[in-house]
């Protein structure tokens, strides 16, 4: 299945349902990493992710009989939408089993394409087991989200497009959940240029592929914990694992905090909404120990609900010292609050919340606590405000920010 001819065939077929996602050169990330960074914005696909490629190509390879039985799959969201949309295009029934933790936007969009959605299990692996049971019970045709060579071939068409736009690309960064995308990308990339480096990126809290490669066999994690829900997989694919071992040049793991900051960078510098799993490659750029290389980073999806988005933005501002909280002790006398506020205002800090605690001491005349949450331009500006408060005789202490 994973031959150049198959990839060429898949590239023609997926064009029927995909939008053209041209590479975006990132001045910001290029300057930050001292490389020439190009983003492959699969978050801009009609279904909000690359997954429609593999789903549509897989269905194109099925017989009429297999399609008429109805399709079923399990997914944390993006493959669900891909299968639902592809099934709608082919006019066949689709049933999707999704984890109960799936963001609402992904559930509703999947239903919007006409699929029946069943919420089951806390993680993908539990949903997948349920989908297999339903396939056995009702005779549905199962479309695996990653452990399928036809699906991987469809996903690999992204590499074909990268090479057409950037023939001299030297590194490709690809997110890994179960490994289907990484399989297709790495195999086709090596067929087109054996010298290219393809690096997989996993969340540190769901690094099933890294552990499997270390063990030399498919390994199941005892549990997963990550905000990158689209890559929260405990067990990578059995069929695709040999291809990963042969063609992937390394794996980078990324902490959740790095994804939070990466989201802020993408919104502010590229005006793009990219979901946490899609941001893995952006966060990994800072771990890539090379310079002056042409690097393509795949943004795998952009399906993020507004509540999650709001939380990530707030946390990103806190991590970047754009919002912080300081505690100061001051006498409980008229005018003291004005003095503190004036000091902050002169340093161009913007107060967004005040908490006044009169019971921090039994002697209120000696001290009450004032907690000030404020906006700043960043770490240097935060330090400037704290220094100004110290010079006015206060002893400011930074405390955990709670918005």
Domain boundary pick from 93, 123, 142? 142
Count CB atoms within 10 A of the CB of residue 403: 13
**177 and 286 together in one domain:** yes
Q: Please tell me the distance from the alpha carbon of residue 265 to that of residue 157, in angstroms, as a whole number.
A: 27
DSSP state letters, 3-18: SHHHHHHHHHHHTTT-
Lowest mean pLDDT among 92-96, 285-289, 302-306, 384-388: 302-306
Q: How many CA atoms does the CB half-sphere of 237 hold within 13 Å?
A: 25
Mean pLDDT of 286-300: 97
Query: Which residue, 276, 302, 317, sits at the end of a domain?
Result: 317
* Active-site hit among 75, 197, 300, 382: 300
Which residue in 157, 160, 171 sits closest to 38, CA to CA?
A: 171
Same domain, 163 and 278: yes
Q: Are residues 162 and 22 in the same domain?
A: yes
Asked if residue 62 lies in contact with residue 91, where contact means CB atoms within 8 angstroms, the answer is no
How high is the pLDDT of residue 175? 97
Who has greater pLDDT, 93 or 308?
A: 93
pLDDT of residue 283: 97
For the residues of 340-365, what is the DSSP string, one character each? HHHHHHHTT-EEEEEEEETTSSS-TT
What percentage of the chain has pLDDT greater than the value 90?
82
d(CA 66, CA 204): 38
Mean per-residue pLDDT, 119-129: 89
CATH of residue 369's domain is: 3.30.70.260
- Between 53-62, 136-145, 271-280, 301-310, the lowest mean confidence (pLDDT) is in 301-310
Q: Catalytic site residue 300?
A: yes
Question: Are residues 12 and 131 both part of a single domain?
Answer: no
Give me the number of domains the chain comprises.
3
- Mean pLDDT, rounded, of the chain: 93
For residue 167, count CB atoms less than 10 angstroms from its CB and return exposed for 0-12, middle for 13-18, buried for 19 or more: exposed
Q: Is 164 exposed, middle or buried (0-12, 13-18, 19+ CB in 10 A)?
A: exposed
| Separation of alpha carbons 385 and 326, rounded Å | 10
| 8 Å CB contact between 159 and 184 | yes
Domain boundary among 125, 142, 159: 142
Catalytic hit among 36, 40, 51, 197: 51
Query: Which two tokens mark 247?
Result: 């063609």
User: Do 169 and 299 belong to one domain?
Assistant: yes
CATH of the domain at 92: 3.40.50.1100
3-class SS at 59?
helix
User: CA geometry: angle at 17 spanning 136 and 13, to 5°?
Assistant: 80
Is residue 200 domain-shared with residue 225, that is, in the same domain? yes
Residues 284, 202, single domain; the answer is yes
Cα separation values, 370 from 96, 250, 394, 399, Å: 52, 50, 11, 11
- Shared domain for 114 and 82, answered yes or no, is yes
Q: Would you state the pLDDT for residue 373?
A: 95
pLDDT value at position 123?
Answer: 81
48: left (phi over 0), alpha (psi -120 to 50) or beta: left
CB 170 within 8 A of CB 158: no
Instruction: Report the alpha-carbon distance of residue 373 to residue 354 in Å, rounded.
Output: 6
Is residue 210 located within the same domain as residue 124? no
Whether residue 201 is found in the same domain as residue 284: yes
> Do 216 and 235 belong together in one domain?
yes
Over residues 39-43, mean pLDDT: 97
pLDDT, residue 366, reads: 61
pTM: 0.88
pLDDT (average), residues 187-212: 97
The pLDDT of residue 165 is 97
- Determine the pLDDT at residue 363: 60
Quickly list DSSP for 194-231. Answer: TT-EEEEEEEGGG-HHHHHHHHTS----S----S-GGG
Quick one: 271 exposed, middle or buried, by C-beta within 10 A (0-12, 13-18, 19+)?
exposed
How large is the average pLDDT for residues 63-72?
94
Decide if 127 is catalytic. no
Q: Judge if 248 and 347 occupy the same domain.
A: no
Write out the residue range of the structural domain in which residue 27 sits: 4-50+149-317
Give the length of the chain.
403
Contact 328, 340 (CB under 8 A): yes
């Amino acid at each position: 299945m994973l031959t150049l001819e198959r990839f060429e065939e898949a590239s023609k077929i997926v064009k029927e349902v995909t939008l053209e996602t041209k590479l975006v050169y990132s001045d910001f990330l290029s300057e930050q990493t001292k490389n020439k960074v190009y983003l492959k914005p699969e978050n801009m696909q009609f279904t909000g992710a690359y997954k429609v490629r593999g789903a549509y190509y897989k269905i194109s390879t099925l017989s009429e009989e297999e399609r008429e039985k109805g399709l079923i799959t399990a997914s944390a969201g993006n493959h669900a939408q891909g299968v639902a949309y592809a099934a709608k295009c082919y006019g066949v029934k689709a049933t999707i089993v999704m984890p109960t933790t799936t963001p609402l936007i992904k559930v509703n969009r999947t239903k919007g394409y006409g699929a029946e959605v069943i919420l089951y299990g806390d993680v993908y692996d539990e949903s997948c087991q349920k989908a297999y049971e339903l396939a056995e019970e009702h005779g549905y045709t199962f479309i695996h989200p990653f452990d399928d060579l036809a699906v991987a071939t469809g996903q690999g068409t992204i590499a074909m497009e990268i090479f057409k736009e950037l023939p001299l690309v030297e590194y490709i960064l690809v997110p890994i959940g179960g490994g289907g995308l990484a399989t297709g990308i790495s195999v086709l990339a090596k067929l087109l240029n054996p010298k290219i480096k393809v690096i997989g990126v996993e969340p540190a809290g769901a690094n099933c592929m890294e552990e499997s490669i270390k063990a030399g066999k498919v390994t199941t994690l005892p549990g997963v914990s990550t905000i990158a829900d689209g890559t929260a997989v405990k067990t990578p694919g059995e069929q695709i694992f040999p291809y990963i071992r042969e063609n992937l040049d390394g794996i980078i793991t990324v902490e959740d905090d790095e994804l939070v900051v990466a989201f802020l960078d993408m919104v502010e510098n590229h005006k793009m909404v990219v979901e946490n799993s899609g941001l893995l490659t952006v966060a990994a750029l800072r771990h890539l120990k090379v310079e002056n290389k042409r690097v393509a980073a795949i943004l795998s999806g952009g399906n993020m609900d507004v509540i999650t988005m709001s939380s990530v933005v707030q946390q990103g501002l806190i991590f970047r010292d754009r919002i912080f909280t300081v505690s100061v002790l001051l006498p409980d006398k008229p005018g003291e609050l004005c003095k503190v506020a004036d000091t902050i205002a002169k340093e161009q800090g913007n107060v967004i919340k005040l908490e006044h605690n009169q019971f921090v001491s039994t002697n209120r005349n000696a001290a009450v606590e004032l907690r000030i949450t404020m906006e700043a331009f960043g770490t240097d500006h935060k330090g400037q405000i704290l220094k100004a408060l110290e010079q006015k005789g206060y002893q400011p202490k930074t405390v955990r920010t709670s918005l």
